[in-house]
Amino acid sequence: MLRVGCILRGGGGVLLCLHRTAQYRYPSGPERVLTRSLSRTPDSSRVALKLRTRLGVTLLVGVALLGAWWWVEQERQQRRRRQRVEQLRTVALGQGTFSLLDHTGRRRTKQDFLGRWVLLYFGFTHCPDICPDELDKLSAVVSALDRDPALPRLQPLFITVDPERDDVAALARYVRDFHPRLVGLTGTPEEVRHAGRDFRVYASAGPKDEDGDYIVDHSVLLYLVSPDGLFLDYYNRTKSPEQIADSIRNHIRNHVPFGAPV
């Protein structure tokens, strides 16, 4: 570093300026390294505080994003359920009524089952294999849901598509082989057709053999009906009892009563 000094000398007013280089001692060796290290290393507590702050901000952002995703997903599912209910309300399927005799001879109408969840099957007692299999599946579903005390009891129904042979006595013998709450329903051919038509059930009797026996070709579906008497879903032969039970649980938990705003 250059230093300059000036003095006034003599009577002639001569200004004499002197200069010299100032000498400074800089640290070297280990001392210099240590000095630089201490001057450049932040305090450890400050570093920990910054890390905690960053971690906290990251967690808050993650929670916010997860919450936003959950809210959007719930809204989307609710919108789908509302659209589903609205679609069902515009369809005539299952919204009519019926008047049939049960397997004890008592006249029953659709109004008798309002307020209960109903799992319904159309078939006939002379069916060799498909109907028993489907009624076994229906019984397994009802029994599985019965084991959940938080769920309402499901009412199983069986409506014949063969009223010519399936009278009250035949139904009484037949339903004993399945769930104890299973109700069998029959009636005149016109009453049975009316009930089936309400659910768009297809049924057609085949030709009779030499013994007068015949097979009825018909729809093979389980129908889920809400406590409002509204058709909600159907299940074909490919659905297992576990899949059907899970579907019905979801319907029950997410049910929007008929007449409620959608």
Residues contributing to the annotated binding site for Cu cation: 127, 131, 218
* Sequence ranges of the binding site: 127, 131, 218
Query: Distance (Å, rounded) from C-alpha 169 to C-alpha 104?
Result: 8
**How many beta carbons lie within 10 A of that of residue 13, not counting itself?**
7
Q: Would you say 167 and 126 are in contact if contact means Cβ atoms under 8 Å apart?
A: no
Give the bridge partners for 117, in sequence order: 154
SS3 227: coil
Query: Distance (Å, rounded) from C-alpha 236 to C-alpha 158?
Result: 16
**CA–CA distances in Å: residue 257 to residues 115, 118, 262:** 10, 15, 10
Strand stretches in 22-130, DSSP E: 99-102, 107-109, 117-123
**How many beta carbons lie within 10 A of that of residue 31, not counting itself?**
10
